[in-house]
Amino acid sequence: MSKIVVFTKEGFEDRTAEFNNDVHNLEEKGFSNIISSLKVIGAPWVAYYGKNFSGKQRVFEEGAYATLEDKEKFCSLKIITDDLDNPEFQLFEHINYKGRTMTLHQETNLLEIAFSDIASYHKVKGGVWVLYEHINHKGAQLVAFSGEQVPSYLPLSFNDVASHVRSLLPKPLTASYAFFS
């Protein structure tokens, strides 16, 4: 089962809580704006600065995060349950379907294809994608879900910002073996 375990201090210390489902308002759980470290087991999660999955966001894939660069900022959490197979993502240069378009199927440094810092909106045809402000997964993030159409990045303060995009990858199936004596 997928879950996220949050802690109020760095290094997995102090108060802790475990969540298996979306949390629209961490304040109701006593964990708004105090998460300083976390662990993700299974599916990826998105942590949002605002309640009800609003504001800036940060994606966390399976692993342990002893120190968060944006600690004490999160107000809601969302588990990613979308199908991550067959990723397809369209970026558009200008709003209202104007300018160049780019269709992507894999992680891309937008600088290498002359599309860095010019995207104004997107359509997600498959998978879940993360847009980054800077190359190499750095800077602000914008998470884009399957079926989503964002007509303009202006309200999100992400217009002409994206320099790198990647799809979240499905976890490989692991075999379990039982040994009998």
**pLDDT tens-digit profile of 55-114?**
999 999 999 999 999 999 999 999 999 999 999 999 999 987 789 999 999 999 999 999
Rg (CA), the chain: 18
**pLDDT tens-digit profile of 113-154?**
999 999 999 999 999 999 999 999 999 999 999 999 888 899
**pLDDT tens-digit profile of 14-39?**
999 999 999 999 999 999 999 999 99
Backbone angles phi, psi at 148, to 5 degrees: -75, 140
pLDDT exceeds cutoff 50 at 177: no
**Structural domain spans, the chain:** 3-79, 88-167
Task: Collapse the DSSP code of 111 into the 3-class scheme (helix H, G, I; strand E, B; otherwise coil) and give the result.
Answer: helix
88-167 belongs to CATH 2.60.20.10: yes
Please state the pTM of the whole predicted model. 0.89
DSSP category for residue 168: P
CATH no., domain 3-79: 2.60.20.10
C-alpha separations of 23 from 32, 55, 57 in Å:
10, 15, 14
Q: In one letter, which amino acid is 30? A: G
Contact 55, 26 (CB under 8 A): no
The 3-state DSSP composition of the chain as helix, strand, coil percent (nearest 5) reads 5, 45, 50
